[in-house]
Amino acid sequence: MEPLIEVRGLRFRYEDGTLALDGVDFVLGAGETVALLGPNGSGKTTFVLHLNGLLAGEGFVSVCGLPVKKPNLPAVRRRVGLVFQDADEQLFMPTVLEDVCYGPLNLGLSPEEARAAAEWALAQVGIAHARDKAPYHLSAGEKRRVALAGVLAMRPEILVLDEPTTFLDPPGRRALVEVLSGLPQAKLIITHDAWFARALATRAVFFEQGRVVCDGLVDVVLAHYQWDLAARSGSVLDSAG
């Protein structure tokens, strides 16, 4: 079966000369949930921004059999749903329902079709009761659900979440696990949260200085890099970038 994501030899250097990715190879299969681990500045976010063409480096990147090249970007972006670390970056319309309708409307759906897609997505993440509220009135956990609903409304095949537990308290983290566990899409989750990684993923990939240095079972990777201890001590946040 063809992988949903295939990356070979991906390299990327920022304009200031920083080498952010140094020959990354990666494959994501259908139905997989993979945790992307590693210190800040190790290349995780830079990597996922290549999956829908927001960044373009050297090497090969394919999503659902489509090379991530300019002519394919509209089709690729329909398949990869990216949920940013700060939900406020994705919420900008007057009401929750209008926010979640925004993506489907941009895909060319009629207002009626977009509304149906939005209402379905809000129900999927358990936040339909807030449909008429202003997003800035919501809690951090509710905003996260609305941002996720906005992505789900476009029916992607792959979900990419960047530090989804940021600003969430323990009940919020548990609720997010419950929501994500019930979604059928393959998932890539950037996280420093070892508990969250264990709760959702069976496989983990560890980034270090722009390279994938370990790829295996979540518990094996966490133990090898003593990630529980590192996360508790705060040392995972010490790297620049």
Cα–Cα distance list, 209 to 22, 47, 129, 188 (Å): 8, 12, 44, 19
With 50 as the cut, is the pLDDT of residue 233 above it?
A: no
Q: Would residue 124 count as lying in a domain?
A: no
pLDDT digits (tens, 9 = 90+) for 77-103: 999 999 988 877 788 899 999 999 999
pLDDT at 85: 82
Which tens digit of pLDDT belongs to each residue from 187-231? 999 999 999 999 999 999 999 999 999 999 999 999 888 776 555
Q: What would you report as the CA-atom Rg of the chain, rounded to the nearest whole angstrom?
A: 18
CATH number reported for the structural domain that contains residue 174 in this entry: 3.40.50.300
Cβ of 120: how many Cβ atoms within 10 Å? 15
At which residue do the structure tokens 């295939």 appear? 6
12 DSSP β-pair partners: 21
Whether 178 maps to a domain, the answer reads yes
Number of domains composing the chain = 1
Is 127 inside a domain boundary?
A: no
Residue 96 lies in a domain: no
Asked whether residue 98 is assigned to any structural domain, the reply reads no
Q: List, for residues 144-154, the tens digit of each pLDDT value.
A: 889 999 999 99
- Residue 14's domain comprises 5-85+157-237
Structure tokens at 53: 């063409």
In a domain, residue 10? The reply is yes
Mean pLDDT of 233-239: 41
Report the distance separating Cα 121 and Cα 159, nearest Å.
14
Q: Is residue 208 part of a domain?
A: yes
pTM of the model: 0.87
pLDDT category of residue 155 using cuts at 50, 70 and 90: very high
> Residue 175 above 90 pLDDT?
no
Task: Judge contact between 134 and 140, C-beta under 8 A.
Answer: no
- Within a domain: residue 27? yes
Structure tokens that stand for 161 in this block: 């979440």
Tell me, what's the pLDDT at 67?
A: 96
Q: CA-CA-CA-CA torsion for 15, 88, 5, 43, nearest 10 degrees? A: 40
